[in-house]
Amino acid sequence: MIVSALDEQRDRYRAAMSRYGIWRRGRELTPRLASDIERLGFGSLWVGGSPAADLRATESYLDATESLVVATGIVNIWTADPHEVAASWHRIEAAHPGRFVLGIGAGHPESTAQAAKPYAALVAYLDALEADGVPAHRLALAALGDRVLALAGERTLGAHPYFVPPRHSARARRVLGPGPLLVPEQRVALEADPGAARELLRPGMLNYFGLRNYRTNLVRLGASRDDLDEASDAAIDDVAVWGDDERVRAGVDAHLDAGADHVVVQLVGSDAEPSSQLARLAAALELG
C-alpha cells in the first residue's frame, strides 16, 4: 500500500495528540493554564473564539509548553486576512516546529452576511494559505456538512467539528474515509446531579441551538426542532456530557468509538479554579 506524505503527517499527529485534548476560548486562557493542560497529560489545546490574525496569544501558549500540540479552533476566514495568518504561521513554525496546527473555518452565517455561502470562500482561503507556503498537513478545517467535511479530507489534516453529538462523528468518518483526522469538540460538565448539570450547561448552549449551521446539522442528525427551540433536557443531553467520572469518560469516548481520532473537551464549570477542574477531568479520563 502506498502511504502519502499527508497520511504520514496525519499519523504523526494522531500519535502526538493521543486521545484527549482541551478546547477553550482564548479569553479564558493563560500561558500558565496551557502549561497545566500539558502537565495533566492532555495532548492538545484548541484555542477558540476566532483568534486574531497575528496569533500572538496562541504563540504564548506554545512558549509556555514543551510538547503540547496547540491549534486554533478556529481562525475565522471573514475576520482574519489569510496573508497575515500565513505570515503568523511561519513565525510560529520557526519558533516551535511541528507543534502548531492552523484550524480555520467560516463561522456561522448570522455573524457575517457572506458566510451564508462559505464553500467557495473556504477554498479561496485555503488557496491563499497554500500560495503563502502553509502546507496542508498543518491545517484543519471546521466542518459539519458533508461537502465541507470532504474538503477538509482533501485539503487539510482533517476536520474539527464543533457542537456535535457522537453520531456526527460516525457520519463524518464515513465521509472522510479512514485517513483524515477527525477531532470533534465535546462540551462537558463535571456534575452528577442531572438538574444542576443541565442548568450549568443550558445558558452556554441556548444560542447554538438557534444558529443556522448548528441547528441544521442537529436536525439532519435527527434532533427535534421543538427540543432545540426549548433547549430541552433531551437537547442538552444530546450534545453535552455530564455526570460522574464513569459517565463523563463514556460520553467522551463515544466519539472515539464512532470514529474520531481525538476529542477536545470544552469544560463547563467554575472559572475561579480552572486548573482544579481540569485536574478532575484528567482523573475522570484516567490521564497521567
**pLDDT recorded at residue 272:** 67
Q: What is the percent of the chain with per-residue pLDDT over 70, rounded to a whole number? A: 95
Structural domain contains residue 216: no
Distance CA 74, CA 162 (A): 10
The answer to whether residues 101 and 71 touch, using CB atoms and an 8 Å cutoff, is yes
Task: Specify if 71 maps to a domain.
Answer: yes
Cis peptide leading into residue 22 (ω within 30°): no
Give residue 174's pLDDT band: very low, low, confident or very high (50, 70, 90): very high
The model's pLDDT over 16-28, given as tens digits with 9 standing for 90+, comes to 999 999 999 999 9
Q: Is residue 232 part of a domain?
A: no
pLDDT score for 276: 95
Q: What pLDDT, on the 0 to 100 scale, is given for residue 240?
A: 98
Average pLDDT, whole number, for the chain? 95
Q: Judge whether 141 lies within some domain.
A: yes
* Cα–Cα distance, 248 to 266 (Å, whole number): 12
Residue 213 domain-assigned (yes or no): no
Task: Answer positive or negative: Cα dihedral of 269, 270, 274, 279.
Answer: negative
User: Would you place residue 1 in the very low, low, confident or very high pLDDT band (cuts 50, 70, 90)?
Assistant: very low
Domain annotation covers residue 208: no
Examine residue 204 and state whether it is found in any structural domain, yes or no: no
Taking residues 131-148, what's their average pLDDT? Answer: 98
DSSP structure class, residue 28: G
* Mean pLDDT along residues 124-132: 98
Q: Which residues contact 14 (CB under 8 A, 6 or more apart)?
A: 181, 261, 262
Which one has a higher pLDDT value, 90 or 269? 90
Q: So what's the pLDDT on residue 113?
A: 56
pLDDT tens track for 68-119:
999 999 999 999 999 999 999 999 999 999 999 999 999 876 555 555 579 9
Residue 123 lies in a domain: yes
How many domains does the chain divide into? Answer: 1
User: Is it the case that residue 254 has pLDDT exceeding 90?
Assistant: yes
Cell triple for residue 68? 503540547
Strands of the chain (E only): list them: 20-25, 44-48, 69-72, 75-76, 100-105, 139-141, 158-159, 181-182, 185-189, 240-242, 263-267
At 273, the pLDDT band (50, 70, 90 cuts) reads confident
Domain assignment of residue 72, given as a range: 5-197+242-284
CATH of residue 155's domain is 3.20.20.30
